[in-house]
Structure 1
Amino acid sequence: MTFVVTENCIRCKYTDCVEVCPVDCFHEGDNFLVIDPEVCIDCALCVPECPAGAIYADNDVPEGQQAFVALNAELSRVWPVLAEAGEPLPDAEQWEGQEDKLQYLQR
């Protein structure tokens, strides 16, 4: 099992999860974070830290968001590791909980 960042992170990009990760498995894009499934040690420390509730165990990803399992694996190979927390995107609160955000993902 590994953990997966799902749609609600898009255009929010809170990094509270990064601060607690003991293995630096988060990778950063312009408006989204992903978890490297090869590095994640399944500790689950990141799950309660995500203000957007966007992180799930790969076998608990909500219906309709299973594509994020492969997306995390794909993008973690090309995006840089994020080892320190930073500020969320300026309009993160406005986007939190919005549906159909995959169209806004910046690769």
Structure 2
Amino acid sequence: MTYIVLEKCIKCKYTDCVEVCPVDCFHEGPNMLAIDPEECIDCSLCVPECPVNAIVAEDDVPAGQENMLELNRELAAQWPEIVERKDPPVDADDWKETDGKLKYLER
């Protein structure tokens, strides 16, 4: 089992989760993070660190977001690794409660 970043992360991109990851499996894109499912060791340390609850176990992916496992795999292969916390986008709080953000994903 691996953990997955859901579309809730898009346009929020809080990076609190990356500091607690013991294997550095997070990758940073323009407006979202992704987890490399091949590197994730299923420790779950990142889950409580996410202020928008955008990280879940692959067995707990909400209905309609099943594509996020493959998307995390694809994006993690393309994006650089991130290992230190960064400031979120200035408008991140404005996007916290927004659903259906996949259309805003920047690759």
Band the TM-score falls in, shorter-chain normalisation:
over 0.9
Task: Quote the Cα distance in structure 2 between the aligned partners of 1:46 and 1:86.
Answer: 15
Q: Could you say what secondary structure the match of 2:71 adopts?
A: helix
Q: Which runs of 5+ in 1 are unaligned?
A: none
- Hey, what's the Cα distance between the residues in 2 that align with 1:11 and 1:82? 17
Q: TM-score, normalising length from structure 2? A: 0.98
Give 2:71's aligned residue: 71
What code does the residue aligned with 1:25 have? C
Q: Distance in 2 between matches of 1:37 and 1:56?
A: 12
TM-fit CA distance, 1:77: 0.5
TM-fit CA distance, 1:97: 1.9
Query: Runs (4+) of structure 1 moved beyond 6 Å?
Result: none
The answer on 1:56 being equivalent to 2:56 is yes
Percent of residue pairs identical: 61
Gaps of 5+ in 2: none
TM-score by length of structure 1 reads: 0.98
Alignment partners' CA distance in 1, 2:8 and 2:97: 6
Match of 1:35 in 2: 35
**Which deviations, in whole Å up to 9, do the C-alpha atoms of 1:56-105 show, x marking residues without a partner?**
00010111111111000000001000011101111000001201110000
Show the counterpart of 2:87: 87
In the alignment, the residues of structure 2 paired with residue 97 and residue 72 of structure 1 have an alpha-carbon distance, to the nearest angstrom, of 21
1:20-51 deviations in Å (ceiling 9; x for gaps): 00110000000000000010000000000000
